[in-house]
Amino acid sequence: MTLLDKLMRPRVIGFGSLAVASLSLVAFWQAGASAIDNAPRDDGTYLETVVKSFEECSRLCEADSGTCRGAQSEQPDITKPLIICRLNNGFGANPLFPSVPPTPLNVNIAVADLNAYRRTHGLAPVVLSERLSKASQVHAEDLARHGNISHTGSDGSGHGDRVQRQGYYFSIAAENVATGQKSWERVFKAWQDSPGHNENLLRDDVTEFGIALVYEPKTAYQTYWAMVVAAPLEDAPNIRYMMPASPNSVKTH
């Protein structure tokens, strides 16, 4: 197989997007004989309605997970089964459900944890790659801009495209993405608990690793994670990547 054949036939692996613990759906339920407050609110409340139970209010919030960050329920008259339900988006001058920034990502801890995990399964360690981390950063920023979770970029790119745009040519590349987790420990555990994502963590044919975290508090998911593991083509150090005319094609020369 020629070098060009190898470049045109890399293995690109991605498993389903992982939106684990993507929202902090915390319901604050208050029961008491208090009067309904009709004053203007600036605490993130965007919908106030009457429901018949605290659970119904929580379900309304979950059904509107793209906007609702939490729900407040109040029973003004405990002798009547009527609940004031307020859905909250976490914004405003005094948000009832304020956004909590994630723990900053320490890539050295991440690669050490990954290698310790791989070692327990008899696998060789991976080394941190700036190019793979840059490809991960580009995708995480793209996901944050659009507030979604996907292996496909807004330009139609796959992770193989994004990796090669960084000048990294590979024999295999696999990607994990996730949203909502507020620390490396939580996203790492979520990936371990997901069979497809865990398979990527424990691949025996990869040697390098990159990861990125982007925090965008004005979106529903807030945190956006992207990770790539790969093995480089050792006989292709001088190949230059050309932006493809089609997002699904790769040209080299």
| H or E, element range at 128 | strand 127-128
At residue 51, what is the residue type? V
Q: Mean pLDDT across the stretch 148-172?
A: 95
Q: How would you classify the pairing of strands 127-128 and 208-215?
A: parallel
Looking at per-residue confidence, does 141 or 218 come out higher?
141
pLDDT in tens, 53-109: 999 999 999 898 778 888 988 888 888 888 999 999 888 888 888 888 999 999 999
Smallest CA-to-CA distance from 147 within 70, 191, 89, 188 is with: 89
Q: Mean pLDDT across the stretch 179-196?
A: 96
pLDDT in tens, 131-155: 999 999 999 999 999 989 999 999 9
Helix (H, G, I), strand (E, B) or coil at 252: strand
Read off the tokens for 232: 């480089």
Q: What is the pTM of this model?
A: 0.72
Measured over all CA atoms, what is the biggest interatomic distance in the chain, rounded to whole angstroms?
80
Q: Angle formed by the axes of helices 184-193 and 107-119, to 10°?
A: 30
